Amino acid sequence: MRSDKLRIGRLAGNQFGLVARHQLMRLGISDGEIAWGLGSGYLTRRLPGVYAVGHSASSVEADLTGALLWAGPGAMLSHACGAWWLGLTRRPPEAIELSTPRHCRSRRGIVVHGRSPLERRWYSDLPTPAVPDLLLQLATTANRDELRKALAEAEYRSLLNAGELRAVCGRGRPGSANLKAALARHLPQLAVTRSEFERRLLYLCEKYGLPIPECDVRLHGFQIDALWREQKLIVELDGESGHAPWARIKRDHQRDLILRREGFTTLRYVWDQFVYDGELVAADIAAAL
């Protein structure tokens, strides 16, 4: 192993610092040399048959790569974990989820969906299923709003093909009904929302038949939560509590004054108004429009 450190290091450098036992064996490293590497600290066991090379530090990428190496050839990040890796969802998964063509039992922190015939695609150096297959997997566990947000993110990243999505849906395929329903109510503007509050505004507009606004846009040097440009109407969402420091209140009033000079009207709402008085908020926006 001493003489093969360069080759091992090069391999680990392409795998976020990790190698698998079967890879070392293909390099001609014997069981005894692997034992020497473990004893000397050059190798650190991360999972059965998976080792960190020359370090013991962890990272998200290393954790995901370690799980893939442990699951063996053909494994890929899947379901909520794969969607999160692609940036289609923002909430980190509770466990690493993998699909693999092999039979492999799950273990603590790693959920394996075995005997999957899916073809792999590589995104940011790690494998996942093709996006249509990944969204169909996500549809088996995500609620409708989470799935609609993922569809919007996929389109925003130029990863969405509606025809391919419909093609993966079929009778008896888990998630098909949920994915078709989300696709029928596809709302691309969800991709640019920064918070659940902004998404609530879009759902409110959808529910009461209001035009969908632009979200998170720059206007006259200010960041705007929601804008109906033609009607010159702005909606600002003032946090869940509705309470803000005095300095922020003064800054917001100054901004509203400047934008009124430019012909824009600003309406402000708090979270509780959306939760308990949604119909009243919708009527208020409709009247201003």
What are the pLDDT digits (tens) for 255-269? 999 999 999 999 999
Q: How confident is the model at residue 91 (pLDDT cuts 50, 70, 90)?
A: confident
DSSP code, position 107: B
Instruction: Provide the pLDDT for residue 170.
Output: 86
Is the pLDDT score of 2 beyond 90? no
pLDDT at 124: 93
Inter-residue contact 43 to 8 (CB < 8 Å): no
Residue 107, pLDDT above cutoff 80: yes
Summarize the confidence of residues 71-94 as an average pLDDT: 94
Residue 63 has pLDDT above 60, yes or no: yes
Each residue's pLDDT tens digit, 204-258:
999 999 999 999 999 999 999 999 999 999 999 986 555 567 788 888 889 999 9
pTM for the model stands at 0.85
Q: Does the pLDDT at position 166 exceed 70?
A: yes
Continuous segment of H or E residues that includes residue 45: strand 43-47
| The predicted structure's pLDDT at residue 116 | 79
Average pLDDT score over residue span 56-65: 90
Distance CA 12, CA 21 (A): 12
Q: Average of pLDDT values for 151-160?
A: 93
List, for residues 10-58, the tens digit of each pLDDT value.
Answer: 999 999 999 999 999 999 999 999 999 999 999 999 999 999 998 877 8
Strands (E), 88-247: 96-99, 110-113, 120-123, 126-129, 214-219, 222-228, 233-237
Contacts of 30 (CB under 8 A, 6+ apart): none
Tokens of 231: 């009607």
Query: 256: how many CB neighbours lie within 10 A of its CB?
Result: 18
Over the stretch 113-138, which tens digit does the pLDDT of each residue have? 977 789 999 999 999 999 999 999 99
Model confidence over 170-213: pLDDT tens digits?
A: 888 999 999 999 999 999 999 999 888 999 999 999 999 999 99
53: left (phi over 0), alpha (psi -120 to 50) or beta: beta
pLDDT at 57: 76
